[in-house]
Amino acid sequence: MITREGDAVETRGSPEYDVFISYAHADRDWVAAFARRLGERGLTVAWDGELITLGDLIVVRVEEFVRASANGILVHSPASAGSAWVRNEYAAMMKRAIEENVRVIPVLIGDGPLPPLAGARAAADFRQERAARWDETFERVVRALRTPL
């Protein structure tokens, strides 16, 4: 549950979502299919494509999603590497990873160097040369999201 104390947003109790997905809007179609498959496996997914409605304050909702999620996924592509939104979401996820022991999984769908802290983590590689192992990699992501740190 999300509660407000002044301007601060905090979560209390169990996380509302299993995972928050940070991505660039150029990758929206890929993320929509990925999030749908996670949902089919019984995971609750926070991403703006499903949960932000007309009139919402986007920054406030994204902040709520990050704080109310047990895990984070950074979808890395050339588009996300250049996105200010993704950089900010990544910073918030990494802060939680360091301070609260939250799992952050880099998901690679395009080439380019990962930010240093994300690059130090085991990544799920969905780039084309790995397409034959897509289902296997997806299952590894599901298992990781269900495994407490």
The predicted model scores a pTM of 0.85
What band does 130 get if pLDDT is binned at 50, 70 and 90? Answer: low
Statement: residue 11 has pLDDT above 60 = no
Statement: residue 42 has pLDDT above 80 = yes
- How far is residue 68's CA from residue 9's CA, in Å, rounded to a whole number? 10
- Average pLDDT value for residue range 67-71: 95
CA atoms within 13 A on the CB side of 143: 7
133, 115 Cβ separation under 8 angstroms: no
What are 86-122's pLDDT values in tens digits? 999 999 999 999 999 999 999 999 988 888 878 889 8
CATH numbers and ranges of domains, the chain: 14-146 (3.40.50.10140)
Pairwise pLDDT comparison (129 vs 103), residue with the higher score: 103
